Structure 1
Amino acid sequence: MVTSATSDQLLVVIDPVARRTDGESVRIAKDVLSAGARAKVCLPEGPEEFARALARRGSRRPVVIGDDRALVRAVSVLHRRRELAGCALSVVPVGSLLSVARSLGVPTGAVAAARAVLDGSERRLDLLVDDSDGVVLGALRIPSVNGQAPSVEAGRPWLRTAQSLVRTLVPAREAAIPAPRPARLRVEVDGVTLVDLDQPLEAVSVTPGDSGVVEVEVRPLSVGAEASPLRAQGRCVSVSGADFRYRADAGVWGPVRRRTWTVWEGAWGLTVPGSS
């Protein structure tokens, strides 16, 4: 469902990561938005300030300038406040993680995206909500289980530097890298078991469909001839078994032993370019 985005008063929330990584695109987007509407600009320094800015938006239409993580954060804040239904959210994608915004129909150029905020229409979208009140905007995937725990180096550049220095001083020793282990999970769609714990799996994917349903695909581990994937549609998907992690939107979540996702049909609105 698509309707016109009406409010010309904007609350422009600029994610700090976007400001650091591509200040020029941020400036361009801010100039275009300010020229076309009455815009209040907020520069939060962290998640708490980000959430407070959205909570105090009043009648202004929220616009997020940032990457997929900023978009997910905004939807999460509004969902937990139960304000998504009456709020048309807009995003100007800036950064390196933009696949979710792109898949939802938002232009990834600063000028085109800012113009879509001003002239576009609100599109109602389904939302996957899990049993811990987390949200998923796009597809999610459960990969095979790797024998190694996720590295903590990604968020700690100083640790990478120290480890690199140690490697240069200490003779290297060969270390076997454990191969990915097949997952053993129970996957249920609307209460019906699609696959059980006795079947090793390569992957599980859950992809938004139409009108409040998701497409679920389970790929059994192939032995010899390639095994055919198992597919189902439904409104509620439960996965349980040994600890597993899953990729969703802009991050990796878990480990968890059970997670249930339910489709909330038309739960949130996103401004996209209007049809010509």
Structure 2
Amino acid sequence: MSAPEPTMSHAGAPVGGLLVLVDPVARRLDGESVRIAKDVLSAGAAAKICLPESLEEFARALARRGHRRPVIVGDDQALVRAVGLLHRRRELADASLALVPVGAAPSLSLARALGVPVGAVAGARAVLDGVVRSRDLLIDDSDGVVLGGLRIAGAGAAPVGAAGRAGPPGSASASGAVAGLAVARAAAPRAPGRPAAPSVWSACRSLVRTLVRPPVGRGAPAVQRLRLRVEVDGVLVSDVDQAVADVAVAARDGLVEVVVRMVDAGPAVIGRGLSVTVSGADFRYRADHADTGPVRRRTWTLRPAAWGLTLPR
């Protein structure tokens, strides 16, 4: 049974007030922006501030929101987490969400794409004065959610999540050695009028170059060539006989739009429908700027106007 819609105040917030959920990561990274957001929201509406210390506490607080409107103070992943939790509880249609973006710039790209103003003050004022707008949602066959879009990178693209992987043996220690030597060189005392001894520094640089030099006989890593079967509403868009450069999936104008680019020259293949299935060799994909996989098969289905997000008027 759906909960009754709360009465709205003149400021646009429900009479039941706001449940302000501050993501633990946001508190650690930018406590000042969190404080500003809490002050602005508390000054403009009846706000209950919740400071969960773990994902479990975050989920419990969201489930016990009552008639309060949930406001997430955090980054893209905090918003995706809240939408996913409400979807799995089958309460997404009854709880419009708001977001005050707090985090590093790369972690707020989804918020910007959705139209949420970035910045503690602008974001909090949009929560108080904005309006709820319906947003489409992609649901995958493991009950995961995609708010923005997703991409499967194939040939010629850097591996998904490569930035967070360890490099070849010795590379991390070599990088640390470079930084350490630079700091040591800058901090070393120098007698007036006497230049630093170039021979010592040159020897150090030679040692570091030896540490980071790639092993002899090894070439560049082989280019990944994905061979995937892509279907839209059961209709074949591309098959495993062609190597895929990348696949992009997003909800547009009430449909799922799929753009498949092949390794070989030629125009992109575009399909539109209500669902898309990708299968083939193990592949990774990036959804809402988070990496997932590897998987061998995944289906995404469109849920039109599945959730509400507060945006500026």
Task: Specify if TM > 0.5.
Answer: yes
Match of 2:243 in 1: 200
Q: Deviations over 1:140-181 (max 9, x none)?
A: 00001689977798399xx99x96337759844515331331
Kindly indicate whether the alpha-carbon contact (under 8 Å) linking 1:125 and 1:268 is maintained by their aligned counterparts in 2.
Answer: yes
Alpha-carbon distance in 1 for matches of 2:134, 2:163: 38
Alpha-carbon distance in 2 for matches of 1:185, 1:85: 34
Match of 1:221 in 2: 263
Kindly indicate whether the alpha-carbon contact (under 8 Å) linking 1:243 and 1:256 is maintained by their aligned counterparts in 2.
Answer: yes
**Superposition pairs for residues 209-248 of structure 1, below 5 Å?**
209-211=252-254, 213-222=255-264, 226-248=265-287
Would the alpha carbon gap of residues 135 and 31 (structure 1) be closer, same or farther in structure 2, given more than 3 Å must change?
Answer: same
Match of 1:257 in 2: 296
Q: Which has the larger radius of gyration?
A: 2
- Scaled by the length of structure 2, the TM-score of the pair is 0.78
- Give the CA deviation at 1:21: 1.2
Q: Deviations over 1:82-125 (max 9, x none)?
A: 11001110000011211111111110021111111111111011
Match of 1:7 in 2: 14
Kindly indicate whether the alpha-carbon contact (under 8 Å) linking 2:21 and 2:49 is maintained by their aligned counterparts in 1.
Answer: yes
1:187 corresponds to which of 219, 226, 230: 230
Alpha-carbon distance in 1 for matches of 2:164, 2:158: 15
Would the alpha carbon gap of residues 228 and 148 (structure 1) be closer, same or farther in structure 2, given more than 3 Å must change?
Answer: closer
**More deviation, 229-238/147-156:** 147-156
Alignment RMSD (CA, Å): 2.4
Would the alpha carbon gap of residues 257 and 146 (structure 1) be closer, same or farther in structure 2, given more than 3 Å must change?
Answer: farther
Q: Deviations over 1:200-227 (max 9, x none)?
A: 110000122012x1211000112xxx31
Alpha-carbon distance in 2 for matches of 1:179, 1:61: 50
Alpha-carbon distance in 2 for matches of 1:151, 1:84: 30
Would the alpha carbon gap of residues 66 and 83 (structure 1) be closer, same or farther in structure 2, given more than 3 Å must change?
Answer: same
Alpha-carbon distance in 2 for matches of 1:152, 1:199: 25
Alpha-carbon distance in 2 for matches of 1:104, 1:17: 21
**More deviation, 69-78/175-184:** 175-184
Kindly indicate whether the alpha-carbon contact (under 8 Å) linking 2:160 and 2:291 is maintained by their aligned counterparts in 1.
Answer: no
Q: When you count strand as a share of all residues, which structure comes out higher?
A: 1
Match of 1:36 in 2: 44
Tell me the SS of whatever aligns to 2:115: coil
- Give the CA deviation at 1:24: 1.3
- Scaled by the length of structure 1, the TM-score of the pair is 0.88
Listed as ranges, the gaps of 5+ residues in structure 1 are none
Alpha-carbon distance in 1 for matches of 2:25, 2:247: 31
- Give the CA deviation at 1:12: 0.3
Match of 2:77 in 1: 69
Match of 2:205 in 1: none
**Superposition pairs for residues 122-161 of structure 1, below 5 Å?**
122-144=132-154, 154=164
**Superposition pairs for residues 7-26 of structure 1, below 5 Å?**
7-8=14-15, 9-26=17-34
2:309 corresponds to which of 264, 270, 274: 270
Tell me the SS of whatever aligns to 1:85: helix
Listed as ranges, the gaps of 5+ residues in structure 2 are 1-7, 178-207
Kindly indicate whether the alpha-carbon contact (under 8 Å) linking 2:155 and 2:244 is maintained by their aligned counterparts in 1.
Answer: no
